Amino acid sequence: MRTRPTMAATALILLVSAGCAGGGSESGRPAAQILTDTQAAAQAADSVTIAGTVARPTAAGTGAATATIELVLTSSGDGRERITGAGQDIDLVKVGSTLYVKGLSAAGATAGYQQLSTTDPRAAPLVAQLDKKAVFDQLIKGGDTVAVTGTATVAGQAAVKVTPGNGAGVLYVADDATHPYPLKVETSSSGAEPTTTGPGPTGALMFTGWDAHTTISPPTGG
């Protein structure tokens, strides 16, 4: 099984890191405090769904490879990630100490789900992608240079716009001091950070289903 990260598998971290590298409301608070508040809210929630589409120009410069991502994370450590597009169709499901993997099989292996113990060294980089705490520790980093650049409405909810100093994107945080959850992150072609293989990904991801008490079940046929 190949566990080396692919363009689609790394798109979530690359995109959101670019956007975040960064009873009341958040809008009057300093940007650094808003990042601290939204990180705490994200970590305290028992579950969240992250979904959207990202694209990165191809190495040949003849177009863009596009991937659709759906990531469900829970505080229990269970999670699910589905990536489609960019020539890939990947499904990762973690339930307890078992990781179910589909779409990363070596040539000639079964087309169904493979099961790995989470203690298997091959599973480690994949399990990390489904670890809610690790994901948000990477996505929202306190201490980065950020600025509040306005307000907006995201899915009917008031939000504060937080932009990193390099202008690489925008993080939309719920304008709610009680539940200042991340609502959306987006990058533009002019701001996306380049990677070692070319220009960085662009697009938008939505954060929904906060604290929805989501339960992850083993996949059918797993």
Q: N- to C-terminal Cα distance for the chain?
A: 16
Report residue 8: phi and psi, to 5°.
-70, -40
Contact 183, 158 (CB under 8 A): no
pLDDT at 101: 93
Q: pLDDT tens digits for 187-222?
A: 765 544 444 445 567 889 999 999 999 999 999 876
Q: Give a yes or no: residue 216 inside a domain.
A: no
How many domains, the chain? 1
Mean pLDDT, rounded, for 2-16: 49
Contact 164, 144 (CB under 8 A): yes
- Here the tokens at position 63 are 């177009």
Phi then psi dihedrals of residue 95, to 5 deg: -130, 115
Q: Which residues have CB under 8 Å from 33's CB, separation 6+?
A: none
Q: Which residues contact 19 (CB under 8 A, 6 or more apart)?
A: 164, 168, 169, 170, 171, 185, 186, 187
pTM given for the model: 0.82
Residue 181 resides in a domain: yes
pLDDT score of 107? 40
Residue type, 114: Q
Assess if residue 214 is contained within a domain: no
d(CA 112, CA 208): 29
Token pair, residue 91, equals: 């499904």
**Dihedrals phi, psi of 173, to nearest 5 degrees:** -115, 135
- Domain holding 69, by residue range, is 10-208
**If you average pLDDT over residues 116-138, what whole number do you get?**
91
- Give domain status of residue 104, yes or no: yes
Residue 89's pLDDT is what?
86
**In CATH, what number is assigned to the domain containing residue 60?**
2.50.20
Q: To which H or E segment does residue 12 belong?
A: helix 7-20
- By residue count, the chain amounts to 222
4, part of any domain: no
Per-residue pLDDT for 76 more than 90?
yes
In a domain, 217, yes or no: no
- pLDDT over threshold 80, residue 118: yes
Helix (H, G, I), strand (E, B) or coil at 18: helix
> Which amino acid makes up residue 25?
S
More confident residue, 6 or 206: 206
Could you tell me the pLDDT band of residue 18, with boundaries at 50, 70 and 90? very low
Tens digits of per-residue pLDDT, 139-197?
887 666 789 999 999 999 999 999 887 767 899 999 999 999 999 998 765 544 444 44
CB 143 within 8 A of CB 32: yes
79-85/64-74 β-pairing: antiparallel
Asked whether residue 220 is assigned to any structural domain, the reply reads no
User: Considering all CA atoms of the chain, what is the largest pairwise distance in Å, rounded to the nearest integer?
Assistant: 57
**pLDDT digits 0-9 by tens, 30-68:** 998 999 999 999 999 999 999 999 887 766 666 678 889
Residue 169 lies in a domain: yes
Kindly report, residue by residue over 78-108, the tens digit of the pLDDT.
999 999 986 778 999 999 999 999 987 544 4
